[in-house]
Amino acid sequence: MSSEIIFQKKNHLGTITLNRPKSLNALSYSMIQLMYQALKDWENDSEVLAVLVRGEGEKAFCTGGDIRNIYESFKSGRNEHTHFFRDEYILNEYIYTYPKPYIALMNGYVMGGGMGISQGASFRVLTEHSKISMPEVAIGFFPDVGGSYFLARCPGSVGDYLALSGVTLNGEDALYANLGDWILSSEQIPAFLEKLESLNSYSPTVDQVENALIDLGARSSPINPSLEEKRPTIDSLFSLDSVAEIIRQLDRTSVDGPIWIGETVELMKKRSPMAMVGALETIRRGRQLSISDCFAMELALGARWIEVGDFVEGIRALIIDKDSSPKWAFTLSELTKQKVEELFPSLLKIQ
Q: Residue 115 belongs to what domain range?
A: 5-133+182-215
Whether 144 is catalytic: yes
Whether 65 is catalytic: yes
Q: Which of 55, 65, 114, 120 is catalytic?
A: 65
- Interstrand relation of 13-18 and 50-55 (parallel, antiparallel or unpaired): parallel
Q: Which of 4, 93, 136, 298 is catalytic?
A: 136
Say yes or no to pLDDT of 351 above 60: no
Q: Is residue 278 one of the residues assigned to a domain?
A: no
Q: Is residue 126 one of the residues assigned to a domain?
A: yes
For the chain, what percent of residues have pLDDT higher than 70? 98
pTM: 0.95
Please tell me the predicted confidence (pLDDT) of residue 29: 93
Q: Is residue 322 one of the residues assigned to a domain?
A: no
CATH number, domain containing residue 120: 3.90.226.10
Q: Is residue 141 one of the residues assigned to a domain?
A: no
Q: Is residue 23 one of the residues assigned to a domain?
A: yes
Whether 47 is catalytic: no
pLDDT band at residue 68 using 50, 70 and 90 as cut-offs: confident
List pLDDT tens digits, range 323-345: 999 999 999 999 998 898 888 88
List pLDDT tens digits, range 156-175: 999 999 999 999 999 999 99
Number of domains in the chain: 1
Whether 136 is catalytic: yes
Q: Is residue 22 one of the residues assigned to a domain?
A: yes
The three-state (H, E, C) secondary structure of the chain, written as one string: CCCCEEEEEECCEEEEEECCHHHCCCECHHHHHHHHHHHHHHHCCCCCCEEEEEECCCCEEECCECHHHHHHHHHCCCCHHHHHHHHHHHHHHHHHCCCCCEEEEECCEEECHHHHCCCCCCEEEECCCCEEECCHHHHCCCCCCCHHHHCCCCCCCHHHHHHHHCCCECHHHHHHCCCCCEECCHHHHHHHHHHHCCCCCCCCHHHHHHHHHHHCCCECCCCCCHHHHHHHHHHHHCCCCCHHHHHHHHHHHHCCCCHHHHHHHHHHHHCCHHHHHHHHHHHHHHCCCCHHHHHHHHHHHHHHHHHHCCHHHHHHHHHHCCCCCCCCCCCHHHCCHHHHHHHCHHHHHCC
Q: Is residue 56 one of the residues assigned to a domain?
A: yes
The C-alpha angle with vertex 243 and arms to 241 and 249, in degrees rounded to 5, equals: 80
Q: Is residue 268 one of the residues assigned to a domain?
A: no
State the average pLDDT over residues 273-279: 96
Q: Which of 144, 173, 181, 281 is catalytic?
A: 144
